[in-house]
Structure 1
Amino acid sequence: MKTLIRTGALALVLAASAAAPPALAQSTPPAAESMFRATTLNLAAYGETRVAPDMATITLGVMTEAKTAQAALQANATRMAGVMATLRRAGIAEKDIQTSGLNLNPQYQYEQNLPPRLTGYQVSNQVSVTVRDLARLGQAVDATVSAGANQVHGISFGLNDSTAAENAARQDAVKALQAKAELYARATGHRVSRLVTLSEGGGYSVQPPMPMVTNQLKREMAADSTQVSPGELKVRIDVSGLYELAR
């Protein structure tokens, strides 16, 4: 009786072992095998277009000094109110004027072998202004300096709507990618069968701010109107694609 039980158990184990290989073989993903059988190209290309900007962002401000912090703040507020009023009269909308920095710093005099001596306070108030009509840019800078702004830190140019420029760059990028794929295919004795994947990167980015005027005083701007040259912006789109080749 014991012999029969042992024989049946052994037969059951052998049957299970024989069934295992097909199960393991079925667990191998077919996609991995097919990838090794296919000839593919993984390529990258880019497209660029240049366009004239139609907007600018300028950073300007007011710096004042006084013996007390309150006096420095009050003087700064008065002058900045004049600058803001001038910007509004120049046609700059409220939403296009944003405070970008407000600082109050004590000022000290340092002498050898003596502790620092407080001499007063300095207040700096900066705003970022978006000008959507470049024809008004130079005039707006002149007006704000005349109204009391004594700091103009930098200017950057941009686009109100970059969609058209980006789409033109996309088309150039895809054409360049396709041409590269066809070149590699011919060089290796293949033809392009299909585009498997396509991805995009890059895009339009605002031009970095350029230094314009620092600690600019009214008398330095009085002789001539400020001339600003916007130049051109470069819009770039990067693409990458996976192509399958065939003989």
Structure 2
Amino acid sequence: MRHLKTPRLVLAAALLSAAALPLPALSAEQEKREATIIVSGEGEVAIAPDMAILSLSVVREAETAEAALKANSAAMADVIADLRKKSIAERDIQTSNFSVDPLYRQDKTGDGNYEAPEIVGYRVTNGLTLKVRDLDQLGTLIDAAVKLGVNEGGNIVFTNDKPDAAVAEARKAAVKEAIDKAKLLTESAGVKLGRVVEISENFARPMAQPMYRTTMAKEMSDAAPPIAGGENTYTVTVNITYAIDQ
């Protein structure tokens, strides 16, 4: 049976020899990494706002939650009815906050401690968020709302309903700046600009700027407050990765 062992020995020796052989070396092209250059550009476009987001609230307090709610609902109904008369569309009127909260009183005892809190009344808050598309109406709307019962203000945020055209212009300016920068860098380095490897973009809408916030009273609204919309700036940053021709 000795002759059966020979093929096995030959096969084992062949496998060991194959394992000992060095792996084929990588080609020069495989080892060489592609040279690249990364540039960024920024584009800005400022345009006047064409819409304002306005928040207003009616706050009423009473001894009972029912009485506070009744007073609040009556005032808010008058405010909403007036807004509709001023051609504010239903889609632009939205309840943004509604709450019923107890009011507490905590008296101090003779020994310097405090008694257990006692509910002495209730506060009802009902808020509205409005989209005002006619900015010429803004001051008049605020004035009328205060006279009808709004006694807490929110923020005025000036924005644009459709800023797509402005964003597109900012995007074009950002790309142009990145391309010009890439050309300048490669020319200065004495190399040639190659193909585009990657493009990415960062875009953020303008930060909301609170323009108006105060506790209101009817006697303070003798005239519509002056409102200045200013401009909204849309900024786009573009990053481009180019290959460098060797």
- Give the conservation status (yes or no) of the 8 Å contact 2:200–2:240: yes
Partners in 2 of 1:66 and 1:236 — Cα distance? 49
| Structure 2 length-normalised TM | 0.88
| Cα deviation 1:12-36 (Å, max 9, x = unaligned) | 41574378835xx68x9x7x645x1
Q: Which moved more, 1:48-57 or 1:115-124?
A: 115-124
Q: Distance in 1 between matches of 2:150 and 2:54?
A: 12
Separation in structure 1 between the aligned mates of residue 21 and residue 172 of structure 2, nearest angstrom: 55
Calculate the TM-score normalised by the size of structure 1. Answer: 0.88
Shift of 1:207: 3.8
Matched residue, 1:78: 74
1-structure distance, mates of 2:72, 2:36? 65
Unmatched segments (≥5 aa) in structure 2: 110-114
**Aligned-pair distance for 1:39?**
2.1
Note the alpha carbon deviations across 1:79-98, whole angstroms, 9 max, x for none.
Answer: 10011111111111111111
List alignment gaps of at least 5 residues for structure 1.
none
Q: Quote the Cα distance in structure 2 between the aligned partners of 1:211 and 1:116.
A: 37
Contact 2:206 2:233 (C-alpha < 8 Å) held by counterparts:
no
Contact 1:47 1:172 in 2 (8 A): yes
1:89-142 CA deviation, whole Å, 9 max, x = no partner?
A: 111111111111111111122221233332211111111101011111111111
Moved more, 106-115 or 84-93: 106-115
Runs of 4 or more, structure 1, over 6 Å off, are none
CA distance in 2, matches of 1:61, 1:172: 42
Q: Percent identity?
A: 34
Instruction: Tell me how far apart the structure 2 counterparts of residues 242 and 134 of structure 1 sit (CA, whole Å).
Output: 43
* Separation (CA, whole Å) in 1 of partners of 2:202 and 2:131: 27
- Residue aligned with 1:75, SS: helix
Q: For the structure 1 residues 157 and 207, does the alpha-carbon distance in structure 2 shift closer, same or farther, using more than 3 Å as the test?
A: farther
Show the counterpart of 2:218: 218
Map residues 98-113 of structure 1 onto 2, 5 A cutoff.
Answer: 98-113=94-109
- Number of residues paired by the alignment? 238
**Partners of 1:13 and 1:62 in 2: CA distance:** 88
Determine the C-alpha separation between the residues in 2 that align with 1:71 and 1:206: 42
Alpha-carbon distance in structure 2 between the residues aligned to 1:17 and 1:213:
79
The SS at the match of 1:212 is coil
